[in-house]
């Protein structure tokens, strides 16, 4: 047991005798989880508040008295009585996300129900719009209440009403929303994985092999060395981003069969330009962050340990964005590093990209890259960091 105790002490000393190891092993995981849940909670809360604060507009044709009483008892909705002649115009408005939901009752609905003539009610909505989907749920719940209340009171069959639904939406946007849920994750994984494998070895590997000291003894300036490391690592990650870009272009014609959706996908030149810009800043950000971990780490293994939280954040950020809609995202969320890039990618793929948010993504990311590079240059001048024991 004495020998076992010695082994235990030796292994634990590897952690507890070095503040950096204590931080990376015991403190960093908790901070990472806290950061992830703060961002995720804030994002989910924004979506919930946006939906809850939205006043659902329900347009109704031939409103029956039995249904109006139910709707009047609900909060945060507006009921518009419209005419048959407006149905086609309202369908176009639902298609363009301008109207929430339209309910078309057959004329003399209540009387025909009493007479057991099986009257029809048609609910028209846009399943790709969260507000319209919420309105659809409200309408369906009200119809269920009507069945269980009015029909039961009259002693009628609950299935006497012929209820139908009609979904009107842009098939291309529906396909784009599927791509927007999946492609940002694939892109972030591929770029950050490339940066992880190359960047962590760029400096920490030199330390581990003992070649960094030799390199520093040459007449090459330290700034030139670190800039060379940055450029070489960034080149690999940018090439990885370009590969992702080409892969996206090549796969778009097959999106319909890949994801089993009804619409084809055709992005404009401006969309491709914005996508290219975001891919480049993702690549540069990944390279600079991985080099930062490589500079701090004493070995490739330790550098990888420091870089792994960055990689995890990149993956989780793309997961969080699955549940966001670009039109419901606060503008300041486009300034959150790494996460803003996934929001930008999602907006582009879902055909909801606007110039200001995309410029904020690219501009803020460039600032983060510059700050990281400046920190790298400063750290590279510190022998205490480069040759830490």
Which of helix, strand or coil describes residue 104? strand
b/e burial code for range 22-50 (CB count within 10 A of at least 16 → b): eebeeeeeeebeeebeebbeebeeebeeb
Pairwise CA distance, residues 105 & 162, whole Å: 10
Name the residue among 138, 72, 71 with its Cα closest to residue 101.
138
Contact 265, 252 (CB under 8 A): yes
pLDDT in the model for residue 366? 94
> Is residue 344 scored above 70 in pLDDT?
yes
pLDDT in the model for residue 361? 94
Most confident of 22-36, 44-58, 204-218, 275-289: 275-289
The ranges assigned to domains in the chain are 17-50+173-386, 55-169
Pairwise CA distance, residues 20 & 187, whole Å: 31
Pairwise CA distance, residues 377 & 221, whole Å: 11
Which residues make beta-bridge pairs with 105? 121
> Is residue 167 scored above 80 in pLDDT?
yes
Instruction: Tell me the per-residue pLDDT of 177-213, one tens digit each, with 9 for 90 and over.
Output: 777 777 888 888 888 888 887 888 888 888 778 777 7
Which of helix, strand or coil describes residue 17? coil
Q: Tell how far CA 43 is from the center of its chain.
A: 10
What contacts 211, CB < 8 A, 6 or more positions away?
none
For domain 55-169, is the CATH number 3.40.1710.10? yes
Pairwise CA distance, residues 299 & 201, whole Å: 8
Pairwise CA distance, residues 361 & 278, whole Å: 8
| pTM for the whole structure | 0.68
């Amino acid at each position: 047991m004495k020998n076992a105790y010695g082994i235990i002490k030796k292994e634990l000393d590897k952690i507890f005798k070095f503040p950096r190891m204590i931080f990376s092993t015991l403190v960093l995981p908790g901070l990472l989880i806290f950061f992830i849940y703060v961002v995720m909670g804030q994002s989910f809360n924004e979506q919930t508040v946006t939906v809850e604060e939205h006043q659902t507009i329900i347009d109704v044709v031939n409103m029956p008295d039995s249904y109006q009483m139910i709707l009047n008892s609900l909060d945060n909705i507006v009921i518009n009585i419209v005419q048959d002649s407006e149905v086609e115009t309202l369908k176009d408005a639902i298609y363009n996300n301008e109207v929430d939901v339209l309910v078309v009752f057959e004329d003399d609905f209540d009387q025909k129900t009493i007479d057991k003539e099986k009257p029809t009610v048609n609910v028209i909505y846009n399943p790709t719009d969260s507000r319209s989907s919420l309105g659809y749920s409200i309408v369906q719940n009200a119809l269920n209440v009507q069945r269980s209340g009015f029909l039961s009171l009259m002693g009628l069959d609950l299935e006497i009403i012929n209820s139908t639904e009609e979904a009107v939406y842009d098939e291309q946007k529906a396909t784009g929303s599927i791509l927007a849920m999946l492609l940002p994750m694939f892109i972030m994984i591929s770029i950050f994985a490339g940066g992880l494998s190359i960047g962590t070895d760029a400096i920490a590997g030199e330390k581990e092999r003992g070649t960094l000291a030799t390199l520093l003894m040459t007449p090459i300036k330290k700034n030139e060395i670190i800039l060379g490391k940055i450029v070489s690592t960034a080149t690999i990650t940018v090439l990885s981003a370009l590969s992702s870009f080409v892969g996206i272009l090549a796969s778009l014609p097959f999106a319909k069969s890949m994801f089993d959706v009804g619409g084809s996908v055709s992005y404009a030149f401006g969309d491709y330009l914005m996508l290219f810009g975001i891919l480049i800043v993702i690549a540069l950000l990944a390279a600079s962050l991985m080099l930062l971990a490589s500079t701090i780490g004493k070995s490739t293994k330790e550098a990888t340990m420091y870089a792994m939280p960055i990689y995890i954040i990149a993956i989780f950020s793309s997961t969080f964005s699955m549940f966001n809609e670009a039109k419901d995202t606060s503008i300041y969320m486009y300034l959150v590093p790494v996460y803003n890039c996934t929001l930008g990618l999602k907006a582009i793929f879902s055909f909801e990209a606007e110039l200001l948010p995309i410029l904020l993504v690219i501009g803020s990311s460039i600032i983060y890259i510059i700050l990281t590079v400046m920190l790298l240059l400063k750290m590279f001048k510190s022998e205490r960091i480069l040759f830490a024991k």
